Amino acid sequence: MGWLLGLPLKLLSLLGGILMVVLRFALPVLIGVGAAMLLRRYRRGKTDEEAASWKKPEEPTFDGPVYTVDYQEVQPVSDTPDRPLPFGYKTIWMAAASQDPQQVIRALGGRDIRRANWQTGLQAAAEEANCVFVSPCLDGFVLVIGLPRFPEQGLAGAFRQVQAFATHRVTEYHAWARWNSGTLERMYAYDGSRGVVTVQTGEMTAQEIALGFGRFPQKGREDRCEANPTEEDVLDLAAAWGVDPRMEAAAYPPSVGWICTVQ
């Protein structure tokens, strides 16, 4: 009977040993699985957080004022007639005594000739390299606007009279010239960046005297003057010689000119 009483104790001891063995091997597995699950959940939460952060970045903040820039779209060249528009500032142009713009274009050696109204023609002359706008005849003159450089001779030999003008308020370069029957009558150029008269040929015209240009610097005597020429003075002289680039003196009808490239 004694062995019957010891049997439960042996079974309990055996089961306890088996349980210890299972726990010995299973516990590390359970701990590893739990750690992996926690790590996976942490990584998933981190990824979601980063994704949400990327999708919704914070708006930048500025301490000062915010400025906006307006961009003007370049217009295609149009040949719809319009009225002459003001020009002359930061520009080089000529006025040839002629009734025929095509004659002026031929004398220029113009290429890539296209009809253009004032608005799109002046814009093309300002934005395209070596492009000029040739106007219809105004008060007996054809204008060539947007020249790449101030002409030393230009169209002088081809027309009864040719005038040339240049203004640039940044460098304070201001110049004007007039040829009659191919002969240079008057040329004056002032380089304000250096404070010198670079060209002074011929005597002042009656219009220059009337406008008070005698107060401007003379070549070699730049320090003995009352004032320096300005862009407004150049435009005043252009008006006195023939055509006012500000288009204030006359009500011209709608018209069309041409654009072309020159050397």
pLDDT 10s digits, 73-98: 546 899 999 999 999 999 999 999 99
Residue 218 within any structural domain of the chain: yes
Q: Are the C-beta atoms of residues 173 and 192 closer than 8 Å to each other?
A: yes
Residue 223 within any structural domain of the chain: yes
Residue 220 within any structural domain of the chain: yes
Nearest residue to 234 via CA among 213, 210, 251, 254: 213
Q: How many structural domains compose the chain?
A: 1
Its pTM stands at 0.71
What is the per-residue pLDDT across 114-144, written as a single tens digit (0 to 9) for each?
999 999 999 999 999 999 999 999 999 999 9
Q: What is the span of the domain harbouring residue 118?
A: 92-261
Residue 104 within any structural domain of the chain: yes
Residue 8 within any structural domain of the chain: no
Task: Categorise residue 130: left if φ over 0, alpha if ψ from -120 to 50, beta otherwise.
Answer: left
- Give burial (CB, 10 Å; 0-12/13-18/19+) of 17: exposed
Residue 221 within any structural domain of the chain: yes
Residue 10 within any structural domain of the chain: no
Q: Which residues of the chain have pLDDT under 70?
A: 1-75
